[in-house]
Structure 1
Protein backbone atom coordinates (compact mmCIF):
# COMPACT_ATOMS: atom_id res chain seq x y z
CA UNK A 1 0.00 0.00 0.00
CA UNK A 2 2.92 2.34 0.69
CA UNK A 3 4.19 1.95 -2.87
CA UNK A 4 0.68 2.53 -4.20
CA UNK A 5 0.39 5.61 -2.00
CA UNK A 6 3.71 7.00 -3.27
CA UNK A 7 2.48 6.54 -6.83
CA UNK A 8 -0.82 8.32 -6.22
CA UNK A 9 0.94 11.05 -4.23
CA UNK A 10 3.09 11.80 -7.26
CA UNK A 11 0.04 12.34 -9.46
CA UNK A 12 -2.41 13.56 -6.81
CA UNK A 13 -3.05 16.92 -8.51
CA UNK A 14 -4.13 15.23 -11.73
CA UNK A 15 -6.35 12.87 -9.77
CA UNK A 16 -8.26 15.80 -8.35
CA UNK A 17 -8.81 17.18 -11.83
CA UNK A 18 -10.10 13.82 -13.06
CA UNK A 19 -12.45 13.29 -10.11
CA UNK A 20 -13.71 16.85 -10.43
CA UNK A 21 -14.36 16.47 -14.17
CA UNK A 22 -16.27 13.24 -13.61
CA UNK A 23 -18.86 15.20 -11.63
CA UNK A 24 -20.18 16.51 -14.92
CA UNK A 25 -20.72 13.13 -16.53
CA UNK A 26 -24.52 12.72 -17.03
CA UNK A 27 -25.96 11.62 -13.69
CA UNK A 28 -27.69 8.39 -14.73
CA UNK A 29 -28.78 6.47 -12.75
CA UNK A 30 -29.73 9.08 -10.18
CA UNK A 31 -29.14 8.79 -6.45
CA UNK A 32 -32.47 10.48 -5.62
CA UNK A 33 -35.43 10.09 -7.97
CA UNK A 34 -38.91 11.54 -8.21
CA UNK A 35 -40.37 8.04 -8.09
CA UNK A 36 -38.91 7.33 -4.66
CA UNK A 37 -38.78 10.78 -3.07
CA UNK A 38 -41.65 12.66 -4.64
CA UNK A 39 -42.00 15.70 -6.85
CA UNK A 40 -39.53 17.79 -4.85
CA UNK A 41 -36.91 15.03 -4.77
CA UNK A 42 -34.18 17.37 -5.99
CA UNK A 43 -34.04 19.20 -2.65
CA UNK A 44 -32.57 16.06 -1.03
CA UNK A 45 -29.30 15.95 -3.02
CA UNK A 46 -29.05 19.75 -2.93
CA UNK A 47 -29.49 20.07 0.85
CA UNK A 48 -27.45 17.02 1.82
CA UNK A 49 -24.72 17.71 -0.72
CA UNK A 50 -24.27 21.35 0.24
CA UNK A 51 -24.21 20.63 4.00
CA UNK A 52 -21.50 17.99 3.59
CA UNK A 53 -19.49 20.19 1.22
CA UNK A 54 -19.63 23.18 3.57
CA UNK A 55 -18.60 20.94 6.48
CA UNK A 56 -15.59 19.77 4.49
CA UNK A 57 -14.59 23.33 3.65
CA UNK A 58 -15.04 24.35 7.29
CA UNK A 59 -12.66 21.59 8.40
CA UNK A 60 -10.10 22.65 5.81
CA UNK A 61 -10.49 26.27 6.82
CA UNK A 62 -10.09 25.57 10.52
CA UNK A 63 -7.02 23.46 9.82
CA UNK A 64 -5.28 26.06 7.68
CA UNK A 65 -6.28 29.01 9.84
CA UNK A 66 -5.03 27.53 13.11
CA UNK A 67 -1.90 25.45 12.48
CA UNK A 68 -1.00 24.95 8.85
CA UNK A 69 1.11 21.96 7.91
CA UNK A 70 3.64 21.99 5.09
CA UNK A 71 3.25 18.56 3.55
CA UNK A 72 3.00 19.38 -0.11
CA UNK A 73 5.73 17.03 -1.19
CA UNK A 74 9.17 17.64 -2.58
CA UNK A 75 10.23 16.50 -6.04
CA UNK A 76 6.83 14.75 -6.29
CA UNK A 77 7.63 12.66 -3.21
CA UNK A 78 6.19 12.65 0.29
CA UNK A 79 7.89 15.30 2.41
CA UNK A 80 7.30 17.18 5.67
CA UNK A 81 9.41 19.82 7.37
CA UNK A 82 7.93 19.41 10.84
CA UNK A 83 5.53 17.20 12.74
CA UNK A 84 2.56 19.48 13.37
CA UNK A 85 0.38 18.28 16.25
CA UNK A 86 -1.45 21.47 17.27
CA UNK A 87 -4.66 23.09 16.04
CA UNK A 88 -7.00 20.68 14.27
CA UNK A 89 -4.10 18.24 13.98
CA UNK A 90 -4.56 17.65 17.71
CA UNK A 91 -7.97 16.18 16.91
CA UNK A 92 -7.29 14.34 13.65
CA UNK A 93 -4.06 13.34 11.93
CA UNK A 94 -5.34 14.15 8.43
CA UNK A 95 -7.92 16.95 8.72
CA UNK A 96 -7.14 18.43 5.31
CA UNK A 97 -7.77 15.08 3.67
CA UNK A 98 -10.95 14.62 5.71
CA UNK A 99 -12.08 18.01 4.45
CA UNK A 100 -11.29 17.04 0.87
CA UNK A 101 -13.16 13.75 1.17
CA UNK A 102 -16.24 15.47 2.59
CA UNK A 103 -16.16 18.15 -0.11
CA UNK A 104 -15.91 15.60 -2.91
CA UNK A 105 -18.60 13.42 -1.33
CA UNK A 106 -20.78 16.49 -0.93
CA UNK A 107 -20.58 17.57 -4.55
CA UNK A 108 -20.93 13.92 -5.58
CA UNK A 109 -24.27 13.81 -3.78
CA UNK A 110 -25.11 17.24 -5.20
CA UNK A 111 -24.57 15.84 -8.69
CA UNK A 112 -27.22 13.22 -7.79
CA UNK A 113 -25.13 10.51 -9.44
CA UNK A 114 -25.53 7.04 -7.98
CA UNK A 115 -22.48 5.74 -9.85
CA UNK A 116 -20.30 8.60 -8.59
CA UNK A 117 -21.28 8.01 -4.96
CA UNK A 118 -21.09 4.21 -5.14
CA UNK A 119 -17.97 3.84 -7.31
CA UNK A 120 -15.91 7.05 -7.46
CA UNK A 121 -16.11 8.06 -3.80
CA UNK A 122 -14.95 4.63 -2.51
CA UNK A 123 -12.12 4.69 -5.08
CA UNK A 124 -11.17 8.16 -3.87
CA UNK A 125 -11.13 6.87 -0.27
CA UNK A 126 -8.85 4.00 -1.32
CA UNK A 127 -6.43 6.44 -2.96
CA UNK A 128 -6.33 8.65 0.13
CA UNK A 129 -5.82 5.68 2.42
CA UNK A 130 -2.84 4.62 0.32
CA UNK A 131 -1.41 8.17 0.29
CA UNK A 132 -1.80 8.50 4.06
CA UNK A 133 -0.04 5.18 4.65
CA UNK A 134 2.84 6.38 2.46
CA UNK A 135 3.00 9.66 4.40
CA UNK A 136 2.89 7.86 7.72
CA UNK A 137 5.73 5.62 6.63
CA UNK A 138 7.81 8.71 5.84
CA UNK A 139 6.88 10.48 9.10
CA UNK A 140 7.58 7.39 11.20
CA UNK A 141 11.02 7.03 9.65
CA UNK A 142 11.78 10.73 10.16
CA UNK A 143 10.27 11.42 13.58
CA UNK A 144 10.28 7.94 15.13
CA UNK A 145 8.81 7.69 18.61
CA UNK A 146 7.45 11.23 18.48
CA UNK A 147 5.20 10.27 15.58
CA UNK A 148 4.23 6.94 17.17
CA UNK A 149 3.12 8.76 20.33
CA UNK A 150 1.11 11.18 18.20
CA UNK A 151 -0.60 8.27 16.42
CA UNK A 152 -1.42 6.65 19.75
CA UNK A 153 -3.44 9.63 20.96
CA UNK A 154 -4.93 11.05 17.72
CA UNK A 155 -7.18 9.26 15.22
CA UNK A 156 -6.11 8.91 11.61
CA UNK A 157 -9.50 9.76 10.09
CA UNK A 158 -12.30 10.36 12.59
CA UNK A 159 -11.90 13.80 14.21
CA UNK A 160 -12.33 14.00 17.97
CA UNK A 161 -14.22 17.03 19.28
CA UNK A 162 -12.87 16.56 22.81
CA UNK A 163 -11.13 19.78 23.77
CA UNK A 164 -12.01 21.50 20.48
CA UNK A 165 -13.21 24.61 22.32
CA UNK A 166 -9.87 24.90 24.09
CA UNK A 167 -8.08 24.53 20.77
CA UNK A 168 -9.97 27.43 19.20
CA UNK A 169 -9.76 29.66 22.28
CA UNK A 170 -6.06 28.98 22.74
CA UNK A 171 -5.00 29.85 19.20
CA UNK A 172 -5.44 32.83 16.91
CA UNK A 173 -7.20 32.12 13.65
CA UNK A 174 -5.05 33.42 10.80
CA UNK A 175 -7.60 34.80 8.32
CA UNK A 176 -4.94 36.11 5.97
CA UNK A 177 -3.31 32.71 5.66
CA UNK A 178 -6.68 31.05 5.20
CA UNK A 179 -7.66 33.38 2.35
CA UNK A 180 -4.22 33.21 0.74
CA UNK A 181 -4.11 29.40 0.81
CA UNK A 182 -7.77 28.62 0.09
CA UNK A 183 -9.01 31.24 -2.40
CA UNK A 184 -8.23 29.14 -5.48
CA UNK A 185 -9.72 25.95 -4.03
CA UNK A 186 -12.82 27.82 -2.90
CA UNK A 187 -13.23 29.46 -6.31
CA UNK A 188 -13.00 26.13 -8.14
CA UNK A 189 -15.47 24.39 -5.83
CA UNK A 190 -17.95 27.28 -5.97
CA UNK A 191 -17.85 27.32 -9.77
CA UNK A 192 -18.53 23.59 -9.81
CA UNK A 193 -21.41 23.92 -7.36
CA UNK A 194 -23.00 26.71 -9.43
CA UNK A 195 -22.70 24.65 -12.61
CA UNK A 196 -24.21 21.57 -10.96
CA UNK A 197 -27.10 23.52 -9.47
CA UNK A 198 -28.03 25.39 -12.62
CA UNK A 199 -27.58 22.61 -15.16
CA UNK A 200 -28.61 19.55 -13.14
CA UNK A 201 -31.62 21.18 -11.52
CA UNK A 202 -33.60 23.19 -14.10
CA UNK A 203 -36.42 23.26 -11.54
CA UNK A 204 -34.51 26.00 -9.70
CA UNK A 205 -35.00 28.36 -12.66
CA UNK A 206 -38.46 27.09 -13.62
CA UNK A 207 -36.96 25.36 -16.68
CA UNK A 208 -36.15 28.78 -18.14
CA UNK A 209 -32.83 28.39 -19.97
CA UNK A 210 -32.54 32.12 -20.53
CA UNK A 211 -32.84 32.82 -16.81
CA UNK A 212 -30.38 30.03 -16.09
CA UNK A 213 -27.79 31.44 -18.48
CA UNK A 214 -28.24 34.95 -17.10
CA UNK A 215 -27.78 33.77 -13.52
CA UNK A 216 -24.79 31.68 -14.57
CA UNK A 217 -23.09 34.67 -16.22
CA UNK A 218 -23.74 36.98 -13.26
CA UNK A 219 -22.63 34.53 -10.58
CA UNK A 220 -19.52 33.37 -12.42
CA UNK A 221 -18.55 36.98 -13.17
CA UNK A 222 -18.94 37.88 -9.49
CA UNK A 223 -16.88 34.88 -8.39
CA UNK A 224 -14.17 35.73 -10.91
CA UNK A 225 -13.98 39.35 -9.73
CA UNK A 226 -13.61 38.26 -6.11
CA UNK A 227 -11.01 35.66 -7.09
CA UNK A 228 -8.92 38.11 -9.13
CA UNK A 229 -9.15 40.73 -6.37
CA UNK A 230 -7.88 38.16 -3.87
CA UNK A 231 -5.03 37.25 -6.21
CA UNK A 232 -4.03 40.90 -6.38
CA UNK A 233 -4.04 41.14 -2.59
CA UNK A 234 -1.89 38.03 -2.34
CA UNK A 235 0.59 39.25 -4.94
CA UNK A 236 0.85 42.60 -3.16
CA UNK A 237 1.80 40.86 0.06
CA UNK A 238 -1.23 42.14 1.97
CA UNK A 239 -2.25 38.59 2.84
CA UNK A 240 1.11 37.75 4.39
CA UNK A 241 1.18 36.98 8.05
Structure 2
Protein backbone atom coordinates (compact mmCIF):
# COMPACT_ATOMS: atom_id res chain seq x y z
CA UNK A 1 0.00 0.00 0.00
CA UNK A 2 2.90 2.36 0.80
CA UNK A 3 4.53 1.76 -2.60
CA UNK A 4 1.20 2.32 -4.34
CA UNK A 5 0.68 5.51 -2.34
CA UNK A 6 4.10 6.86 -3.35
CA UNK A 7 3.32 6.08 -6.99
CA UNK A 8 -0.08 7.80 -6.87
CA UNK A 9 1.42 10.77 -5.02
CA UNK A 10 4.03 11.14 -7.75
CA UNK A 11 1.43 11.36 -10.52
CA UNK A 12 -1.54 12.77 -8.64
CA UNK A 13 -1.41 16.10 -10.51
CA UNK A 14 -2.31 14.09 -13.63
CA UNK A 15 -4.52 11.40 -12.10
CA UNK A 16 -7.04 13.53 -10.27
CA UNK A 17 -7.77 16.11 -13.03
CA UNK A 18 -8.24 13.14 -15.39
CA UNK A 19 -10.61 11.69 -12.81
CA UNK A 20 -12.76 14.84 -12.99
CA UNK A 21 -12.75 14.83 -16.81
CA UNK A 22 -13.88 11.20 -16.90
CA UNK A 23 -16.61 11.99 -14.38
CA UNK A 24 -18.05 14.70 -16.64
CA UNK A 25 -17.53 13.02 -20.01
CA UNK A 26 -17.58 9.32 -19.17
CA UNK A 27 -20.58 8.90 -16.89
CA UNK A 28 -24.25 8.55 -17.69
CA UNK A 29 -26.74 9.68 -15.04
CA UNK A 30 -29.41 7.41 -13.65
CA UNK A 31 -32.67 9.13 -14.53
CA UNK A 32 -34.62 9.52 -11.30
CA UNK A 33 -37.63 11.78 -10.83
CA UNK A 34 -37.20 15.49 -11.41
CA UNK A 35 -38.23 16.26 -7.82
CA UNK A 36 -35.68 13.81 -6.42
CA UNK A 37 -33.05 15.25 -8.73
CA UNK A 38 -33.36 18.68 -7.10
CA UNK A 39 -32.74 17.19 -3.66
CA UNK A 40 -29.82 15.21 -5.08
CA UNK A 41 -28.25 18.35 -6.50
CA UNK A 42 -28.74 20.12 -3.17
CA UNK A 43 -27.15 17.21 -1.28
CA UNK A 44 -24.21 16.97 -3.69
CA UNK A 45 -23.49 20.70 -3.58
CA UNK A 46 -23.80 20.82 0.22
CA UNK A 47 -21.39 17.91 0.73
CA UNK A 48 -18.88 19.36 -1.75
CA UNK A 49 -19.08 22.79 -0.11
CA UNK A 50 -18.48 21.18 3.27
CA UNK A 51 -15.33 19.62 1.86
CA UNK A 52 -14.23 22.97 0.47
CA UNK A 53 -14.82 24.72 3.81
CA UNK A 54 -12.64 22.12 5.54
CA UNK A 55 -9.90 22.69 2.97
CA UNK A 56 -10.21 26.47 3.29
CA UNK A 57 -9.93 26.42 7.08
CA UNK A 58 -6.95 24.07 6.91
CA UNK A 59 -5.01 26.15 4.39
CA UNK A 60 -5.99 29.53 5.81
CA UNK A 61 -4.93 28.74 9.38
CA UNK A 62 -1.69 26.77 8.99
CA UNK A 63 0.72 26.45 6.09
CA UNK A 64 1.74 22.93 5.13
CA UNK A 65 3.78 21.76 2.17
CA UNK A 66 0.97 19.95 0.35
CA UNK A 67 2.70 19.14 -2.92
CA UNK A 68 5.68 17.31 -1.47
CA UNK A 69 9.12 17.84 -2.98
CA UNK A 70 10.25 16.49 -6.33
CA UNK A 71 6.87 14.72 -6.55
CA UNK A 72 7.65 12.75 -3.39
CA UNK A 73 6.12 12.85 0.08
CA UNK A 74 7.97 15.49 2.09
CA UNK A 75 7.58 17.48 5.30
CA UNK A 76 9.92 19.95 6.99
CA UNK A 77 8.06 19.89 10.31
CA UNK A 78 5.25 17.89 11.86
CA UNK A 79 2.27 20.23 11.63
CA UNK A 80 0.02 19.86 14.68
CA UNK A 81 -1.66 23.26 14.82
CA UNK A 82 -4.86 24.62 13.32
CA UNK A 83 -7.23 22.02 11.91
CA UNK A 84 -4.42 19.46 12.14
CA UNK A 85 -4.96 19.53 15.90
CA UNK A 86 -8.41 18.05 15.27
CA UNK A 87 -7.83 15.77 12.25
CA UNK A 88 -4.63 14.32 10.78
CA UNK A 89 -5.74 14.53 7.15
CA UNK A 90 -8.20 17.43 6.83
CA UNK A 91 -7.22 18.25 3.25
CA UNK A 92 -7.89 14.70 2.13
CA UNK A 93 -11.14 14.57 4.08
CA UNK A 94 -12.14 17.72 2.20
CA UNK A 95 -11.16 16.16 -1.12
CA UNK A 96 -13.13 12.99 -0.45
CA UNK A 97 -16.23 14.99 0.48
CA UNK A 98 -15.89 17.03 -2.72
CA UNK A 99 -15.68 13.85 -4.81
CA UNK A 100 -18.66 12.32 -3.00
CA UNK A 101 -20.61 15.52 -3.64
CA UNK A 102 -19.70 15.42 -7.33
CA UNK A 103 -20.60 11.73 -7.47
CA UNK A 104 -24.04 12.36 -5.98
CA UNK A 105 -24.59 15.14 -8.50
CA UNK A 106 -23.45 12.92 -11.39
CA UNK A 107 -25.86 10.20 -10.19
CA UNK A 108 -23.99 7.53 -12.13
CA UNK A 109 -24.45 3.98 -10.85
CA UNK A 110 -21.01 2.80 -12.11
CA UNK A 111 -19.42 5.82 -10.43
CA UNK A 112 -21.18 4.99 -7.16
CA UNK A 113 -20.01 1.38 -7.38
CA UNK A 114 -16.46 1.87 -8.67
CA UNK A 115 -15.51 5.54 -8.95
CA UNK A 116 -15.97 6.76 -5.38
CA UNK A 117 -14.49 3.61 -3.77
CA UNK A 118 -11.50 3.79 -6.15
CA UNK A 119 -10.92 7.42 -5.25
CA UNK A 120 -11.04 6.61 -1.53
CA UNK A 121 -8.62 3.69 -1.99
CA UNK A 122 -6.18 5.97 -3.84
CA UNK A 123 -6.29 8.48 -0.99
CA UNK A 124 -5.87 5.72 1.58
CA UNK A 125 -2.73 4.63 -0.29
CA UNK A 126 -1.37 8.19 -0.27
CA UNK A 127 -2.15 8.54 3.44
CA UNK A 128 -0.36 5.26 4.20
CA UNK A 129 2.70 6.51 2.31
CA UNK A 130 2.64 9.81 4.18
CA UNK A 131 2.18 8.10 7.54
CA UNK A 132 5.14 5.83 6.80
CA UNK A 133 7.28 8.87 5.91
CA UNK A 134 6.21 10.90 8.95
CA UNK A 135 6.71 7.97 11.32
CA UNK A 136 10.23 7.39 10.03
CA UNK A 137 11.16 11.07 10.15
CA UNK A 138 9.55 12.25 13.37
CA UNK A 139 9.46 9.02 15.37
CA UNK A 140 8.04 9.34 18.88
CA UNK A 141 6.69 12.83 18.24
CA UNK A 142 4.49 11.46 15.46
CA UNK A 143 3.45 8.44 17.54
CA UNK A 144 2.26 10.74 20.33
CA UNK A 145 0.45 12.93 17.79
CA UNK A 146 -1.55 10.09 16.23
CA UNK A 147 -2.59 8.85 19.68
CA UNK A 148 -4.60 12.01 20.26
CA UNK A 149 -5.79 12.95 16.76
CA UNK A 150 -8.02 10.88 14.48
CA UNK A 151 -6.97 10.01 10.96
CA UNK A 152 -10.28 11.06 9.38
CA UNK A 153 -13.10 11.91 11.78
CA UNK A 154 -12.48 15.45 13.11
CA UNK A 155 -12.63 15.99 16.85
CA UNK A 156 -14.79 19.11 17.05
CA UNK A 157 -14.02 19.73 20.71
CA UNK A 158 -12.26 23.10 20.97
CA UNK A 159 -12.34 23.77 17.23
CA UNK A 160 -13.99 27.19 17.66
CA UNK A 161 -11.22 28.15 20.08
CA UNK A 162 -8.66 26.97 17.53
CA UNK A 163 -10.18 29.07 14.75
CA UNK A 164 -10.54 32.18 16.91
CA UNK A 165 -7.05 31.79 18.33
CA UNK A 166 -5.26 31.89 14.98
CA UNK A 167 -4.96 34.48 12.25
CA UNK A 168 -6.66 33.51 9.00
CA UNK A 169 -4.47 34.13 5.96
CA UNK A 170 -6.84 35.01 3.11
CA UNK A 171 -4.01 35.71 0.67
CA UNK A 172 -2.56 32.25 1.22
CA UNK A 173 -5.98 30.65 0.79
CA UNK A 174 -6.55 32.35 -2.57
CA UNK A 175 -3.05 31.69 -3.90
CA UNK A 176 -2.98 28.03 -2.84
CA UNK A 177 -6.60 27.06 -3.43
CA UNK A 178 -8.02 28.95 -6.42
CA UNK A 179 -7.20 26.20 -8.90
CA UNK A 180 -8.72 23.34 -6.92
CA UNK A 181 -11.86 25.30 -6.13
CA UNK A 182 -12.32 26.32 -9.75
CA UNK A 183 -11.87 22.74 -10.98
CA UNK A 184 -14.56 21.16 -8.83
CA UNK A 185 -17.04 24.06 -9.17
CA UNK A 186 -16.78 23.91 -12.97
CA UNK A 187 -17.12 20.12 -12.81
CA UNK A 188 -20.28 20.53 -10.72
CA UNK A 189 -21.76 23.07 -13.15
CA UNK A 190 -21.03 20.89 -16.19
CA UNK A 191 -22.48 17.81 -14.51
CA UNK A 192 -25.76 19.58 -13.76
CA UNK A 193 -26.00 20.97 -17.30
CA UNK A 194 -25.21 17.56 -18.80
CA UNK A 195 -27.72 15.75 -16.61
CA UNK A 196 -30.46 18.25 -17.37
CA UNK A 197 -29.79 18.09 -21.09
CA UNK A 198 -29.73 14.28 -21.14
CA UNK A 199 -33.04 14.23 -19.32
CA UNK A 200 -34.92 17.02 -21.09
CA UNK A 201 -32.96 17.69 -24.29
CA UNK A 202 -33.92 20.99 -25.91
CA UNK A 203 -36.78 21.26 -23.40
CA UNK A 204 -34.45 21.76 -20.44
CA UNK A 205 -35.16 24.75 -18.21
CA UNK A 206 -33.75 27.78 -20.04
CA UNK A 207 -33.58 29.91 -16.90
CA UNK A 208 -31.53 27.26 -15.11
CA UNK A 209 -29.24 26.91 -18.13
CA UNK A 210 -28.66 30.67 -18.31
CA UNK A 211 -27.99 30.83 -14.57
CA UNK A 212 -25.46 27.99 -14.74
CA UNK A 213 -23.81 29.54 -17.80
CA UNK A 214 -23.54 32.89 -16.03
CA UNK A 215 -22.12 31.14 -12.96
CA UNK A 216 -19.53 29.41 -15.14
CA UNK A 217 -18.47 32.75 -16.63
CA UNK A 218 -18.33 34.34 -13.17
CA UNK A 219 -16.16 31.64 -11.57
CA UNK A 220 -13.91 31.64 -14.64
CA UNK A 221 -13.47 35.39 -14.21
CA UNK A 222 -12.60 34.91 -10.53
CA UNK A 223 -10.13 32.20 -11.49
CA UNK A 224 -8.46 34.50 -14.03
CA UNK A 225 -8.21 37.31 -11.47
CA UNK A 226 -6.73 35.00 -8.82
CA UNK A 227 -4.24 33.56 -11.31
CA UNK A 228 -3.18 37.04 -12.42
CA UNK A 229 -2.71 38.18 -8.81
CA UNK A 230 -0.59 35.11 -8.09
CA UNK A 231 1.55 35.23 -11.24
CA UNK A 232 2.13 38.97 -10.95
CA UNK A 233 2.98 38.50 -7.25
CA UNK A 234 0.46 41.15 -6.30
CA UNK A 235 -0.87 38.51 -3.95
CA UNK A 236 1.57 36.23 -2.15
CA UNK A 237 0.92 33.27 0.12
CA UNK A 238 2.95 34.44 3.13
**What TM-score results when the alignment is normalised by the length of structure 1?**
0.90
1:98 has 2:93 as partner: yes
Contact 1:205 1:211 in 2 (8 A): no
Structure 1 87/204 Cα, relative in aligned 2: closer, same or farther at 3 Å? farther
Q: Residues 146-186 of structure 1: CA distance to partner in whole angstroms, max 9, x if unpaired?
A: 11111111011111101101101110111111111111111
- Aligned partners of 1:72 and 1:80 also within 8 Å: no
Query: Which residue number corresponds to residue 157 of structure 2?
Result: 162
Corresponding residue for residue 220 of structure 2: 224
User: Could you say which residue in structure 2 is the equivalent of 1:196?
Assistant: 191
The answer to whether the 8 A contact 1:56-1:101 is kept is yes
Whether contact under 8 Å (1:107, 1:193) holds in the other structure is yes
Shift of 1:210: 6.5
Higher relative contact order (CA 8 A, sep 6+): 2
* 1:118 partnered with 2:117: no
- 5 Å-filtered alignment, 1:35-54, equals 39-54=34-49
RMSD between aligned residues: 2.2
- Matched-pair contact (CA < 8 Å) for 2:27–2:111: no
| Aligned-partner Cα distance in 2 for 1:128–1:120 | 13
Point out where structure 1 has 5 or more consecutive residues left out of the alignment: none
- How many angstroms apart in 1 are the aligned matches of 2:200 and 2:15? 31
Measured in 2, the distance between the counterparts of 1:65 and 1:82 equals: 18
1:85 paired with 2:84, answer no
Aligned: 1:17 with 2:17? yes
Structure 2: how far apart are the matches of 1:164 and 1:204? 45
Count of aligned positions: 235
- Given candidates 134, 137, 141, the residue that maps to 1:139 is 134
Question: Greater CA deviation, 200-209 or 9-18?
Answer: 200-209
Kindly indicate whether the alpha-carbon contact (under 8 Å) linking 2:196 and 2:204 is maintained by their aligned counterparts in 1: no
Aligned to 2:2: 2
Cα distance between partner residues in 2 of 1:79 and 1:238: 28
Structure 2: distance between partners of 1:7 and 1:121: 19
